[in-house]
Chains A and B, each alone.
Chain A
Amino acid sequence: MAEIVLDAVTKRFPDGALAVSEVDVAIDDGEFVILVGPSGCGKSTTLNMIAGLEDITSGELRIGGERVNERAPKDRDIAMVFQSYALYPHMTVRENMAFPLKLSKVDRATIAAKVDEAATVLDLTQHLDRRPANLSGGQRQRVAMGRAIVRSPSAFLMDEPLSNLDAKLRVQMRTEVSRIQKRLATTTVYVTHDQTEAMTLGDRVVVMRGGVVQQVGAPQHLYDHPANLFVAGFIGSPSMNFMPGTLAEGALQTALGRVSLPDRIRSALESAGAPSEVIVGLRPEHFEDVALVEESKRAAGTTFPAQAEVLESMGSDKYVYFSLSGDRASSTELEELAADAGTAELPSGGNQLTTRLSAASTAAEGEKIDIWFDAAQVQVFDPSSGRNLTA
């Protein structure tokens, strides 16, 4: 059990590439922290530095209050689960799980007891004498978990442990990982680029971009109060809608019409010194079919007419997609997000509005409908810095 503190930790590779820049994160004892971000943002590098598999260029890493920059991985008392599982193919499941214990010279009886216990927890008992090559993906994943938990280390590090599983198994294993972590209450750092995993698993989430931490916070906090455009666009699925807007006299002119802002937002914008040209962000669930909104509430929002292009009924909700007139919001952060999601090349990529309406809505494909959204939920971003001006 230990807390892990990264103090201005930086990694520069010999070829000059700056992979991780001045990361400051303090992870409490027993906390489950997620490192999330698009591919190549330095998540694995950060994790490897905590594990001791990569040298730290500058800054300090403390585990349990002690500086460990110079310590070899084996002296850091941590266990790691790899994306490839990295099971030893020449050993049986039992030998794989016993390996770290054997190396630390634990006596045979204790090893057998611990391996059996871990196998029971992970439902691997009947596979103990098989080899990794003969196991299914999910079973291999559990063996990798088992090898990590037998040692009762002071921290778990996991690098995309579920990304090689199919969707259904991934959901199953996600709850499994969460269950095990809760049960053992071991400090855990978990790397993923899947924002659903980030939202559901962690006590806190660290969002990274290009080696720089963008925001650290509880999943709900990141969702409700993203610090900048990047976090806003990265967290949430389907993601937030962005469009350009113009601020004038306490109101916002957008492609969806004029939005008169509530006092809270207006004063926040004023104190932040907002420019007149801004980017407006709205989450899909903050839209509603105007027919389903109480009369008293309508005035607090904005209503606009639109033609539904595509409708996906989920049973519980309806996702309705519209095209927006006018330019799309442009910023380097949004372009990067689009590139990561692979939507940069789509013609309607950033110019589409995604809304989530109640199932009772009568919206139909190709038909006009009046849509309402809550002005209090509007987020306003500075296009040049990407900063959230309303948070």
Chain B
Amino acid sequence: MTVAAPQRPAAGDARRSEGAKAERRLAAWLCAPAVIVMLAVTAYPIGYAVWLSLLRYDLRFPQEREFVGLSNYLAVLTDGYWWSAFTVTVAVTVVSVAIELALGLGLALIMHRTLFGRGTVRTLVLIPYGMVTVAAAFSWQYAWTPGTGYLANLLPEGSAPLTEQIPALAIVVLAEVWKTTPFMALLLLAGLALVPDDLLRAAQVDGAGPWQRLTRIILPMMKPAILVALLFRTLDAFRIFDNIYVLTRGNNGTASVSILGYDNLFKAFNLGIGSAISITIFICVAIIAFLFVKGFGAAAPGSEPEGRR
């Protein structure tokens, strides 16, 4: 893991042997089918969406379709709706991922120490993750509907949490956390298994209590697993749609960026603006992924003295 990347042969080496050339050709042929499929199913729709986002294109006024350059993006980024949706999305993402990380870590530590029925415990824990999000979201919705819901009945008379911004978002976060904590826990459990027992015993003899063992040994050793789990979950949470769609339909300032894109595309039929929103979301996701991957580079053991980050 700490060895320098193997030296690649200098590109364009004219005297590359015939055998090597043939091998490269073969490699290209073998990769071709996958590349073609990838282009067909991902690159084409993405490219088409980019193209749409550069047009003024409203299905209600198809004859006004014309090329407008980046002005759709300008419209999106100078609009209050986008920024409010963006704030909501970031808030839901940060809060739910943070809670999931803490809960997931706790669950993983418990599962790691469980001596009996490991398989059963792990399967049970995964049940929420195995449920269809929309189905789960509906059950949350009923639970929080005044009059009929068992959770809403616990609240004071007359309160309707799903109709107010902050309580509604809290319920969205709750639904997200309930559903995806198990996934987080399993990813972290895999990371925990990578911490050698001897290290913890050594730390114990060196004078570390349980908390110090967690923060000074287990967490640093699990850093790669934690980053992977955070990356997956952050990307996922940033695109949150179904829970919000079912619980609030994005009303009362609870719309996420995906809801905003959906509304523009499929309610307002504005393909230009909708595509611009989708592409902007895509760019945000790419930026998140990029930041995490940069984080990985720095986290690789041995690449940088500890304590700088």
Residues of A within 8 A of B (CB): 48, 51-53, 72-74, 78-80, 82, 84, 86, 88-92, 95, 99-100, 103-104, 129, 131, 133-134, 147, 157
The 8 Å CB contact of A86, one of B199, B220, B302, is B199
Note all chain A residues with C-beta closer than 8 A to B221: 89-90
A74 and B220 contact, CB distance less than 8 A: no
Contacts of B199 in A (CB 8 A): 86, 88
Cβ contact within 8 Å between B2 and A74: no
**Interface size bracket, B side:** 20 to 34
From A79, A89, A129, A134, B205 is in contact (CB under 8 Å) with A79
Instruction: Assess whether B204 is interfacial by the CB under 8 Å rule.
Output: yes
B207 proximal to A (CB < 8 A): yes
Tell me which residues across on chain B come within 8 A of A89, comparing CB atoms.
Answer: 221, 301
Q: With the chains together, A183 CA to B221 CA distance in Å?
A: 35
Q: How far is the CB of B28 from chain A (nearest CB, A)?
A: 36
Report yes or no: A90 in contact with B207, Cβ–Cβ below 8 A: no
Sample of 13 further A-B pairs with CB below 8 A, known A79-B205, A86-B199: A72-B209, A73-B204, A73-B207, A74-B206, A74-B208, A82-B201, A88-B217, A89-B221, A90-B220, A99-B216, A100-B207, A103-B207, A133-B2
Judging by beta carbons under 8 Å apart, are B201 and A86 in contact? yes
Separation of A104 and B206 alpha carbons in the complex (Å) = 9
- A52 cross-chain contacts in B, Cβ below 8 A: 204-205
- What is the minimal beta-carbon distance from A23 to any residue of chain B, in angstroms? 20
Q: Which B residues lie at the A interface, using CB under 8 A?
A: 1-2, 196, 198-199, 201-209, 212, 216-217, 220-221, 223, 301-302, 305-306
With beta carbons under 8 angstroms apart, the residue of B204, B212, B217, B301 that contacts A131 is B301
Cα(A80)–Cα(B241), bound, Å: 54
Query: Contact at A53–B196, with CB atoms within 8 Å?
Result: no
Known: A86-B198, A89-B301, A90-B220. A131 touches B205 (CB 8 A): no
Pull 6 A–B residue pairs with CB atoms less than 8 Å apart, ordered by A.
A53-B204, A74-B205, A74-B208, A79-B206, A90-B223, A92-B306
Q: Closest approach, in angstroms, between the C-beta of B203 and any C-beta of chain A?
A: 8
A82 near B207 with CB under 8 A, answer: no
User: B196 touches which one: A73, A74, A84, A104 (CB < 8 A)?
Assistant: A84
Report the minimum CB–CB distance from B308 to chain A (whole Å). 12
- B206 A99 Cβ-Cβ under 8 A: yes
Q: How far is the CA of A133 from the CA of B220 in the complex (A)?
A: 15
B188 CB to closest chain A CB (Å) equals 17
Chain B residues within an 8 Å CB radius of A73: 204-205, 207
Residue of B nearest to A79 (CB): B205
Question: When chains A and B are docked, how far (Å) is the Cα of A73 from the Cα of B203?
Answer: 10
The answer to whether A91 touches B306, judged by C-beta atoms less than 8 angstroms apart, is yes
B205 touching A84, Cβ below 8 Å: no
Q: Among the listed A48, A133, A157, which residue makes an inter-chain contact with B1, where contact means beta carbons less than 8 Å apart?
A: A133
- Name the A residues within 8 Å of B305 (CB-CB): 92, 129
Contact B2 A80 (CB under 8 A): no
Docked Cα-Cα span, A72 to B206, in Å, equals 11
Which A residues lie within 8 Å of B206 (CB)? Answer: 74, 79, 99-100, 103, 147
Q: Complex formed: what's the CA distance from A297 to B198 in Å? A: 57
Q: Which 4 interchain pairs have the tightest Cβ spacing?
A: A86-B202, A100-B206, A74-B207, A86-B198
Tell me the bound Cα distance from A52 to B205 in angstroms. 8
CB distance from B202 to the nearest CB of A (A): 4
With A90-B221, A90-B301, A95-B306 in contact, is A78–B205 under 8 Å at CB? Answer: yes
In whole angstroms, what is the CA distance A111 to B301 when docked?
24
Instruction: Give complex CA distance A133, B306 in Å.
Output: 14
* Residue ID in chain B nearest A100 by CB atoms: B206
A86 to B213, CA, bound (A): 14
Query: In the complex, are the beta carbons of B205 and A103 less than 8 A apart?
Result: no
Nearest B residue (CB) for A78: B205
Nearest A-chain residue to B115, judged by Cβ: A14
Which residues of B have CB within 8 Å of A133? 1-2, 301-302
In the complex, A157 Cα to B205 Cα: how many Å?
10
| A26 and B196 alpha carbons, distance in the complex (Å) | 33
CB of B309 to closest CB in A, whole Å:
12
Task: State in angstroms the CA–CA spacing of A91 and B304 once bound together.
Answer: 10
Q: Which residues of A contact B209 (CB under 8 A)?
A: 72, 74
Instruction: Give the CA-CA distance A202 to B204 in the complex, in Å.
Output: 27
**B301: which A residues are within 8 A, CB to CB?**
89-90, 131, 133
- Is the pair B2, A134 in contact by a Cβ cutoff of 8 Å? yes
Which residues on B sit within 8 Å (CB–CB) of A100? 206-207
**How distant is the Cα of A79 from the Cα of B203 in the complex, in angstroms?**
10
Which partner residue on chain A sits nearest B219 by CB separation?
A: A90
Cβ of A84 to closest chain B Cβ, rounded Å:
5
Which residue in chain A gives the minimum CB-CB distance to B210?
A72
Contact yes or no, B205 A80, CB < 8 A: yes
Please give the distance in Å from A356's CB to the nearest CB on chain B. 40
Tell me which residues across on chain A come within 8 A of B302, comparing CB atoms.
131, 133-134
Nearest chain A residue, comparing its CB with the CB of B209: A74
A34 to B89, CA, bound (A): 63
Chain B minimum-CB-distance residue to A84 = B198
A80–B217 CA distance with the chains assembled, in angstroms = 17
Q: Write out the residue numbers on chain A whose beta carbons fall within 8 Å of the beta carbon of B196.
A: 84, 86
CB distance from B72 to the nearest CB of A (A): 47
Closest-CB distance, B194 to chain A (whole angstroms): 11
Asked if B198 and A82 make an inter-chain contact with CB atoms under 8 angstroms apart, the answer reads yes
Report chain B residues within 8 Å CB of A103. 206-208, 212
- The complex places the Cα of A74 from the Cα of B205 at a distance, in Å, of 5
A330 vs chain B, min Cβ distance (A): 40
Taking the closest CB of chain A, its distance from the CB of B106, in whole angstroms, is 22
Q: How far is the CA of A80 from the CA of B200 in the complex (A)?
A: 12
Considering the complex, give the chain B residue whose CB is closest to the CB of A153: B205
CA distance in complex: A133, B221 (Å): 14
Q: How far is the CB of A306 from chain B (nearest CB, A)?
A: 50
Shortest Cβ gap from A133 to chain B (Å): 5
Among B203, B220, B223, max chain A CB count under 10 A is at B203
Given contacts A90-B220, A133-B2, A133-B301, whether A80 and B207 have CB atoms under 8 Å apart is no
* Chain B nearest Cβ from A343, distance in angstroms: 31
Residues of B within 8 A of A95 (CB): 306
Interface centre among B1, B201, B216, B221 (most CB of A within 10 A): B201
